[in-house]
């Protein structure tokens, strides 16, 4: 059970008990040893978008009480998603089985204040006991109850993220969907640097709004000179009004 909005207790499927799961972070060219242990009540799997390995071998369902291990070496720096891909993957993702996997460039990034945001959707139907679970009809109709950053509706609107004026801010943005695109925008600011999928080779400057598809990610940098409140949203305002809105509190 996790809380996804005030008074909304949801029966989630999770990695490590949280939605999103833990942020995993490695360096380009670093050997990764990965193990998935299934302590749940149904078969689950893993799909790490940073790994170039055979789906037919490593991304298959892992039975209850079993585990699966593999190694891989990320070749490309960037921001990636990981998620459960057990059939039907739509339900496993909609129920909360996803997270962010960051591969830093071999030489790292310049110093900055870093923020990790994952956009996702909940399709919540109420049970007789007052708790909530996946409403498959709403999911298949593509009508999310909440669209959120990091698993909770409006959490950064109600508890803004404090950053410093004239200091570089680096935001890693991932979107797991499973349906909606993200149109990420900071009101009152521009992105000095934008990297599609978080890869330094994919560099643009001066962007106002960036598109992040379901299953994709990006990295943006910005420096805000004046103190104040700067909301960040998905510029699809139907989804922003459903919970995908936050605030950067810029202090001197």
pTM: 0.97
Please state, for a pLDDT cut of 70, what percent of the chain lies above it.
100
Q: Domains (ranges, CATH) in the chain?
A: 2-107 (2.60.40.420), 114-251 (2.60.40.420)
- The answer to whether 210 touches 194, Cβ cutoff 8 Å, is yes
- How many CB atoms lie under 10 A from the CB of residue 131? 13
- How many CB atoms lie under 10 A from the CB of residue 108? 10
Banded pLDDT at 182 (limits 50, 70, 90)? very high
- How many CB atoms lie under 10 A from the CB of residue 84? 26
pLDDT at 38: 98
Banded pLDDT at 165 (limits 50, 70, 90)? very high
Instruction: Give strand pairing partners of 248.
Output: 161, 230
Mean pLDDT of the chain: 98
Distance from C-alpha of 173 to C-alpha of 78, rounded to nearest angstrom: 11
Strand 216-222 to strand 193-196: parallel, antiparallel, or no bridges (unpaired)? Answer: antiparallel
pLDDT at 22: 98
User: Which tokens belong to 16?
Assistant: 């490590």
What is the pLDDT averaged over residues 19-44?
98
- Determine the 3-state secondary structure of 90 from DSSP: helix
pLDDT at 220: 98
- The answer to whether 145 touches 234, Cβ cutoff 8 Å, is no
Distance from C-alpha of 183 to C-alpha of 220, rounded to nearest angstrom: 13
Separation in Å, CA 208 to CA 188, 229, 233: 10, 17, 12
pLDDT in tens, 194-243: 999 999 999 999 999 999 999 999 999 999 999 999 999 999 999 999 99
pLDDT at 211: 98
Closest CA to 158 of 249, 69, 53: 249
Q: Phi-psi category of 182—alpha, beta or left, where left has phi over 0 and alpha has psi -120 to 50? A: beta
Contacts of 56 (CB under 8 A, 6+ apart): none
Separation in Å, CA 125 to CA 8, 134, 178, 242: 10, 6, 17, 15
């Amino acid at each position: 059970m996790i809380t996804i909005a005030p008074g909304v207790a949801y029966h989630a499927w999770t990695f490590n008990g949280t939605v999103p799961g833990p942020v995993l972070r490695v360096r380009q060219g670093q050997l990764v040893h990965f193990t998935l242990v299934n302590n749940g009540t149904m078969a689950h799997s893993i799909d790490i978008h940073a790994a170039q390995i055979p789906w037919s071998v490593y991304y298959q369902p892992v039975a209850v009480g079993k585990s699966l291990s593999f190694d891989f070496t990320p070749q490309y720096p960037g921001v990636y998603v990981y998620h459960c891909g057990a059939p039907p993957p739509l339900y496993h993702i909609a129920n909360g089985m996803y997270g962010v996997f960051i591969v830093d460039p071999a030489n790292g990034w310049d110093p900055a204040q870093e923020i990790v945001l994952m956009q996702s959707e909940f399709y919540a139907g109420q049970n007789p006991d007052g708790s909530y679970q996946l409403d498959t009809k709403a999911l298949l109709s593509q009508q999310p109850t909440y669209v959120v950053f990091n698993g909770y509706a409006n959490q950064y609107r109600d508890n803004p993220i404090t950053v410093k004026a004239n200091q570089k801010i680096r935001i890693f943005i991932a979107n797991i969907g499973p349906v909606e695109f993200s149109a990420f925008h900071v009101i009152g600011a521009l992105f000095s640097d934008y990297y599609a999928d978080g890869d330094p080779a994919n560099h643009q400057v001066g962007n106002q709004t960036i598109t992040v598809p379901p299953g994709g990610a990006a990295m943006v940098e910005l420096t805000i000179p004046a103190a104040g409140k700067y909301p960040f949203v998905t510029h699809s305002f139907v989804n922003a009004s459903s919970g995908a809105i936050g605030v950067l509190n810029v202090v001197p």
